[in-house]
Amino acid sequence: MSESVSIVIPVFEEEESLPYLYASITEAMDPTGRDYEMLFVDDGSRDATLKVLSELNAKDNRVVVVSFRRNFGQTAAMAAGIDHATGDIIVTMDADLQNDPADIPHMLEKAKEFDVVSGWRKRRKDPFISRKLPSLIANGLISKVTGVKLHDYGCTLKAYRKEVIKNVRLYGEMHRFIPAIANWYGASITEVETTHHERKYGKSKYGISRTIRVILDLITVKFLQTFATRPIHAFGPIGLALGAIGFLIALYLSFDKVILGHSIGSRPLLLLSVLLIILGVQILVMGLLAEVLARTYHESQGKPIYTVKLHLGSSPLGATGADEPATVAPEQIKPKPKPRARRGAPRRSASKRTENAAGTKASAASDTAPKASPVAAKEAPLK
């Protein structure tokens, strides 16, 4: 049976494009014979976007709509769509008709071999100065810094296997870094050429300012990639280096004062050595605090430090953990042997044994019977 597909589409004021987008998706997906859903996330649109989506939902139960109370941004909309998606493969795309749904079936075939299939708008229909040039610079920087070589990080049309994308937490403008983040978890990534169309309706929500935000987010991604679980390795060398330089300066001044007898009270090096030592200690403390925060975060989130791609077979030792007591099946429990009667001891008669058993039951019943509370006894009215 073929895998199901969830198509996640963040939407912001695209009322004119939605009917054409819906028709294009159904035209591309119906011939594949796959079960699929179209999950539109309305990112606080102020036009008739939600009305159009409601009409599509009433017409086709494969259309799922999630609407935000206000505009939270594309990353938040994409994260909401991924959280609500139920398909085995999750496809993301824009709602402005610039991505072509006809490319989705080819990407789904590639998703059988790879965890992430990224689109590449090789023949991009956008202005060069305002869109293509910043994109070229950003893609080059991201590929260089993250080590994941892709031509087009900004292309929203991508296909992910559910088990990979569900583990990625998105915030800020991190949606464009999903391939790099997935690569940290060991995901296999490929890139395919996709068709790109000119925008027909509405206006672009992208600009030069977004490139600046991408660069800032890239710094965050690089830091998290390298030092997310060991921030002391980032702060420690800097703090130790500054502290060591300050200590060496102080050692030199001490030699100059004690051995050579020179006055050091008015020398700038004395102040510099003190400042460097204090600064080095502060940076080391910051690293330790960051280490504690990182460990607290990972433990509170229950996030593993590894991911498993495949697990074949079961342990021949059973499922019992090392710290758990072993369980034994009832049929494996053997009854204890009855004690033999001592030689020479008088054997009790059947009537005597019956009387003793009756007495034992009576005493047990009296022990288990509820006793009157002393408080209740005191409060009982006198007759």
Q: Are residues 185 and 265 in the same domain?
A: no
Q: Are residues 123 and 238 in the same domain?
A: no
At residue 18 the predicted structure's pLDDT band, cuts being 50, 70 and 90, is very high
Where is pLDDT greater, at 290 or 338?
290
Q: Are residues 105 and 57 in the same domain?
A: yes
Separation between Cα atoms, residue 40 and residue 50, nearest integer Å: 10
Q: Are residues 159 and 242 in the same domain?
A: no
Q: Are residues 296 and 162 in the same domain?
A: no
> pLDDT per residue over 87-109, tens digit each?
999 999 999 899 999 999 999 99
Single residue among 244, 270, 301 that ends a domain in this structure: 301
Q: Are residues 192 and 87 in the same domain?
A: yes
**Average of per-residue pLDDT across 74-83:** 90
In a domain, 131, yes or no: yes
Task: Give the model's pLDDT for residue 369.
Answer: 46
In a domain, 63, yes or no: yes
Burial of 228 per CB tally in 10 Å (0-12, 13-18, 19+): middle
In a domain, 236, yes or no: yes
pLDDT-above-90 percentage for the chain: 37
Q: Is pLDDT above 80 for 322?
A: no
> pLDDT per residue over 127-147, tens digit each?
777 777 888 888 888 888 888
Q: Is pLDDT above 80 for 289?
A: yes
Separation between Cα atoms, residue 65 and residue 56, nearest integer Å: 9
For tokens 């987008």, name the residue. Answer: 21
Single residue among 281, 301, 321 that ends a domain in this structure: 301
According to DSSP, the β-strands at 63-67 and 36-42 are parallel
Residue 67 β-bridge partners = 42
- Supply 311's token pair: 């697990």
- Considering the entire predicted model, what is its pTM? 0.66
Q: Are residues 24 and 124 in the same domain?
A: yes
> pLDDT per residue over 162-184, tens digit each?
999 988 878 777 888 888 888 88
- Name the DSSP class of 131: I
Q: Are residues 262 and 202 in the same domain?
A: no
**Average of per-residue pLDDT across 24-37:** 94
In a domain, 209, yes or no: yes
Q: Is pLDDT above 50 for 376?
A: no
**Average of per-residue pLDDT across 256-283:** 88
At residue 55 the predicted structure's pLDDT band, cuts being 50, 70 and 90, is very high
Q: Are residues 262 and 220 in the same domain?
A: no
Q: Is pLDDT above 50 for 64?
A: yes
Q: Are residues 82 and 52 in the same domain?
A: yes
Q: Is pLDDT above 80 for 309?
A: no
In a domain, 239, yes or no: yes
Q: Is pLDDT above 50 for 339?
A: no
Residue ranges making up the domain that contains 188: 5-227
Contact 55, 81 (CB under 8 A): no
**Average of per-residue pLDDT across 25-52:** 93
In a domain, 135, yes or no: yes
For tokens 């009917």, name the residue. Answer: 19
Where is pLDDT greater, at 332 or 7?
7
Q: Are residues 108 and 23 in the same domain?
A: yes
Q: Is pLDDT above 50 for 383?
A: no
Where is pLDDT greater, at 147 or 350?
147
- Supply 323's token pair: 């710290």
In a domain, 328, yes or no: no
- Cβ neighbors of 235 (< 8 A, separation 6 or more) are 283, 284, 286, 287, 290
Neighbours of 165 (CB within 10 A): 25
Q: Are residues 110 and 188 in the same domain?
A: yes
In a domain, 313, yes or no: no
Cα three-residue angle 358-363-369, rounded to 5 degrees: 125
CATH classification of the domain holding 166: 3.90.550.10
Task: Give the model's pLDDT for residue 313.
Answer: 62
Task: Give the model's pLDDT for residue 139.
Answer: 84
What does the CA dihedral 105, 107, 109, 114 come to, rounded to 10 degrees?
A: -160
Single residue among 251, 268, 301 that ends a domain in this structure: 301
Main-chain dihedrals φ then ψ at residue 131, nearest 5 degrees = -125, -55
How many domains does one find in the chain?
A: 2
